[in-house]
């Protein structure tokens, strides 16, 4: 009954390699995200897709390319990995709702992928 899942959980690779991280959500949400959390634990958004359409693209190097084959999946491909790419990458999903408590777009996070570039 996992809500947001990511694979792999750990990824160790050499500089210059290309790697992919996969994310899937079974919450029926329309929007999915990729975040990067650096060694200082600062969590920063990279990309967001809504119904397979890219809606947020922060200042991320072109080596990072997200792909959303359907609204339940959002993958992240990274070319020519660099030492500075070492971090934990989190996928998240959300569904915008209006309720008595107010408008919300609560994001639910996956378990994270720890990427180490040697």
Smallest separation (angstroms) from another protein to the CB of 109: 4
E strands, 26-86, are: 31-37, 43-50, 53-57, 64-70, 73-78
**Per CB under 8 A, does 112 bind another protein?**
yes
Query: Closest CB to another protein among 51 and 79?
Result: 51
Task: Count other Cβ atoms within 10 Å, centred on residue 1.
Answer: 3
Could you tell me which stretch among 11-19, 63-71, 72-80, 98-106 binds another protein (CB under 8 A)? 98-106
Smallest separation (angstroms) from another protein to the CB of 45: 6
Backbone torsions φ then ψ of 39, nearest 5 degrees: -65, -20
Closest CA to 84 of 60, 114, 117: 117
96 contact partners, CB below 8 Å, separation of at least 6: 30, 31, 103, 104, 105
Smallest separation (angstroms) from another protein to the CB of 63: 22
Could you tell me which stretch among 12-20, 59-67, 75-83, 101-109 binds another protein (CB under 8 A)? 101-109
**Per CB under 8 A, does 10 bind another protein?**
no
**Per CB under 8 A, does 27 bind another protein?**
no
d(Cα 114, Cα 9) in Å, to the nearest integer?
6
Q: How many residues of this chain interact with another protein, rule: CB under 8 A? A: 27
């Amino acid at each position: 009954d996992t809500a947001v899942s990511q694979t792999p959980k750990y990824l160790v690779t050499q500089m210059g390699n290309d790697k992919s991280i996969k994310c899937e959500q079974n919450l029926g949400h329309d929007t999915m995200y990729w975040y990067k959390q650096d060694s200082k634990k600062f969590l920063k958004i990279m990309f967001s897709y809504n119904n397979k359409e890219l809606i947020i693209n922060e200042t991320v190097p072109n080596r990072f390319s997200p792909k959303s084959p359907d609204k339940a999946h959002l993958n992240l491909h990274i070319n020519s990995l660099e030492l500075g790419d070492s971090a934990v990458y989190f996928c998240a999903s959300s569904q915008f709702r209006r309720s008595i408590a107010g408008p919300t777009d609560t994001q639910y996070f996956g378990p994270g992928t720890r990427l180490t570039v040697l």
